[in-house]
Structure 1
Amino acid sequence: MPPADLPEIPGVLSARQALATAEAIAATQEPDGALPWFTGGHTDPWDHLENAMALTAAGLWEQARAAYLWSAKTQRADGSWPTQFRAGVIENHDSDTNFCAYLATGVLHYLTSTGDTEFANEMWPVVRAGIDFVLRAQLGHFGEIHWSVGASGTSGEALLTGCSSIFHSLRCALALAAHARDPQPEWEVAALRLGHALRAHPEAFLDKDRYSMDWYYPILGGAIRGPDGYDRIASRWDDFVVADLGIRCVSDQPWVTGAETCELVLALDALGDHRRALALFTNMQHLRETDGSYWTGLVFADGKRWPEERTTWTAAAMLLAADALSRTTPANNIFRDLLPPPTRTTRACDCAATVPRP
């Protein structure tokens, strides 16, 4: 049976409100299990899984299982997923490596939440094939992973946010491998190389520092923690945080977004900075609608919602942040301390100084 307790933040989010948000996400679920951005919108494999995790956190396990089974059914023979679907039809056949890795995070979250080892074992071959596909794109000079794979090959470019998320997914995949008693030592090497690239070689990644995700994702994904994490947060706090509203998606635009704010909440929670995490979580609630759904963002220069969409993944990020702050479900620490700290070398880096560029 699903848990009786739902994430609740006193004075900010009640358990009843948390359930309403989960039900708003579930109401968009298509007959095949897909969880699109909104009713009639497209589905991408990453946000679909974020939604499944939120449904699990709220006790809607049957709907979450249907979502994971959709992932299993739509995986291609090479272990990948298309980047975008709409009503069961593929709209973008290319693969995003971060999207393909994220199933490991979702399945570990479901296993930890429910204890359903049989379902985790059923999903293990799907996770394994997805990770193997992703690591075939680890072609970067320092261990970074190219972000896109299409008919003509990989993009040749790595994204800091995507690789940070892949790093977390690799560690989740290794935990699932241990659970399945199917060791994957080559994944451990890949994770070590990727973690080192994230910590020591920003030049390996495309310059996207206008975007808040590139600021906090190395912390959220677990590659950077402790004093280095605090220093990273301090370095761009004033660039992104808008008092009483949340955080900017892009540093030079007057636009705060709910999902990015809640992901920063999770990153701060992982650092142990509960005070600022709770404040940001409270501040983003102005995006809540009466039915429990959440608007994507607000252009604070003119007070307008933009885009005029209530996205499931914004609601999902909010529920996962609520679970982390409230310590409610067994998987509330999926981004905090469920996994052992990443190994890192203490010797001086002997990598080449720069990434070769065309």
Structure 2
Amino acid sequence: MTSPERTERLGLPGVLTAAEAAATAAAIASVQRTDGAIPWFRGHHLDPWDHVEAAMALDIAGEHERAAAAYDWLARNQNPDGSWYAAYADGDPGRPTDLGKESNFCAYPAVGVLHHYLATGDELFRRRMWPVVASATEFVLGLQQDGGQLGWRRDPDGTPVPDALLTGSASCYQALRCALALAELERAPQPDWELAAGRLGHAVRRHPERFLDKSEYSMDWYYPVLAGAVRGPAATARLAQRWDEFVVPDLGVRCVLSRPWVTGGESAELALALWTAGDPDRAVDILRWIGHLRAEGGMYWTGYVYPDDALWPGELTTWTAGAVLLAVAALTGHEPTQAVFAGDRLPRGLDPDCCRVARG
């Protein structure tokens, strides 16, 4: 059971007490398998991205051994080409349920590995995971297109899908910067990664036409800010642009514009994006609003259909709870979480706009 003493710093008035944060971490831990895998919930599948999100939440709560076990699961189950499959049955490496290999799923472990290293200072872990991150990053960059954007997956037969998703590419931009930070720690320069990161960030910031139109989804609205591709006044302007379309006051954030459905994961991620954009007060408001999604035991319901006053779907997911703890951690000063999301200390790579290696 996670101790409230470990989560004392996570107390955020109106959002979580230290004891409630501890309960949320313990609820995530209760879903983790003995082999380290963290499925959405027991009996459901695992995907690498959400597995990492949950592992990061465990580190936030001081459950470092559990988090390390989650990353070791990734190391043991990495494919020879550096990838992971898109889904595994309840985390069972012998039963992948989707043999596709998605670029953002394969990139995101770099964020988690850096986060764990910053939380623990564990050099043995960092060195052990460096080849895992390096191989995964090479797989991901094999899907980069001429315009800098990343094709979103390889099909089971190995065929690359060139279509790019803005949210996925933005997530990969954050992950690639974390991979570059790990390369610096390893003293293993990666000039090709620097160039790829710069091109990718440029595409996310300036070329929406290079991505499939998913503007109906709130993630495409806030993720370029959350992932660090858009910062400063541009971030503030982007979040203001569609605020009234996606934000439902006192309830949370819509996942899909055409549906009267607010979701915990998207709401927590928007709160984190607001923090990165220098708007912590509204970030706290969003987190306070989704208190109605908190379930007994510390997990969070996936979403709420407000015209029907109905929780839907009937799922308590580790990644929703993880997203809440990540947002709370950033707002309450957890330095490893702030480092991987604020991005001011992460390499940016080669900036195509000024043709130089930049930082911050």
Aligned-residue offset at 1:93: 1.0
Alignment equivalent of 1:48, drawn from 51, 59, 76: 51
Is 1:159 equivalent to 2:162 in the alignment?
Answer: no
Is 1:22 equivalent to 2:15 in the alignment?
Answer: no
Aligned to 1:120: 126
Aligned-residue offset at 1:40: 1.0
Aligned to 2:88: 85
Task: Indicate conservation of the 8 Å contact 1:45/1:84, yes or no.
Answer: yes
Is 1:318 equivalent to 2:324 in the alignment?
Answer: yes
Task: Identify if the C-alpha distance between structure 1 residues 7 and 338 changes in structure 2 by more than 3 Å, giving closer, same or farther.
Answer: farther
Is 1:206 equivalent to 2:212 in the alignment?
Answer: yes
Is 1:58 equivalent to 2:61 in the alignment?
Answer: yes
SS of match in other structure, 1:298: strand
* Mapped partners of 1:259, 1:203: distance in 2: 26
Any idea what the Cα deviations from partners look like across 1:224-248, whole Å, max 9, x if unmatched? Answer: 1111111111110001000001100
Aligned to 1:189: 195
Any idea what the Cα deviations from partners look like across 1:226-273, whole Å, max 9, x if unmatched? Answer: 111111111100010000011000111100000101101111100111
Matching residue's letter, 2:70: A
* Mapped partners of 2:180, 2:353: distance in 1: 23
* Mapped partners of 1:333, 1:290: distance in 2: 31
* Mapped partners of 1:152, 1:127: distance in 2: 20
Aligned-residue offset at 1:11: 3.3
Task: Indicate conservation of the 8 Å contact 1:222/1:335, yes or no.
Answer: yes
Aligned to 2:174: 168
* Mapped partners of 2:143, 2:345: distance in 1: 24
* Mapped partners of 2:58, 2:158: distance in 1: 37
Aligned-residue offset at 1:344: 4.0
Task: Indicate conservation of the 8 Å contact 1:141/1:204, yes or no.
Answer: no
Between stretches 2-11 and 222-231, larger displacement belongs to: 2-11
Alignment equivalent of 1:296, drawn from 282, 302, 307: 302
Aligned-residue offset at 1:75: 0.2
Task: Indicate conservation of the 8 Å contact 1:320/1:332, yes or no.
Answer: no
SS of match in other structure, 2:341: coil
* Mapped partners of 2:336, 2:209: distance in 1: 37
Aligned-residue offset at 1:6: 4.1
Between stretches 46-55 and 332-341, larger displacement belongs to: 332-341
* Mapped partners of 1:67, 1:216: distance in 2: 28
Task: Indicate conservation of the 8 Å contact 2:103/2:140, yes or no.
Answer: yes
* Mapped partners of 2:186, 2:109: distance in 1: 15
Unaligned runs of 5+ in 2: 356-360
Aligned to 1:277: 283
* Mapped partners of 2:263, 2:39: distance in 1: 19
Task: Indicate conservation of the 8 Å contact 1:171/1:339, yes or no.
Answer: no
- Aligned residue pairs total 346
Task: Indicate conservation of the 8 Å contact 1:6/1:18, yes or no.
Answer: no
* Mapped partners of 2:337, 2:249: distance in 1: 30
Aligned to 2:358: none
Matching residue's letter, 2:21: A
Aligned to 1:222: 228
SS of match in other structure, 1:104: helix
TM-score (norm 1): 0.93
Is 1:145 equivalent to 2:168 in the alignment?
Answer: no
SS of match in other structure, 1:332: helix
Task: Indicate conservation of the 8 Å contact 1:6/1:19, yes or no.
Answer: no
Aligned-residue offset at 1:35: 0.2
Matching residue's letter, 1:46: W
Of Structure 1 and Structure 2, which has the larger fraction of its residues in strand?
A: 2
Task: Indicate conservation of the 8 Å contact 2:326/2:337, yes or no.
Answer: no
SS of match in other structure, 1:76: coil
Aligned-residue offset at 1:329: 4.6
Task: Identify if the C-alpha distance between structure 1 residues 241 and 21 changes in structure 2 by more than 3 Å, giving closer, same or farther.
Answer: same
* Mapped partners of 1:111, 1:200: distance in 2: 32
Aligned to 1:257: 263
TM-score (norm 2): 0.93
Task: Indicate conservation of the 8 Å contact 2:219/2:255, yes or no.
Answer: yes
Aligned to 1:355: none
Task: Indicate conservation of the 8 Å contact 1:331/1:338, yes or no.
Answer: no
* Mapped partners of 1:271, 1:231: distance in 2: 10
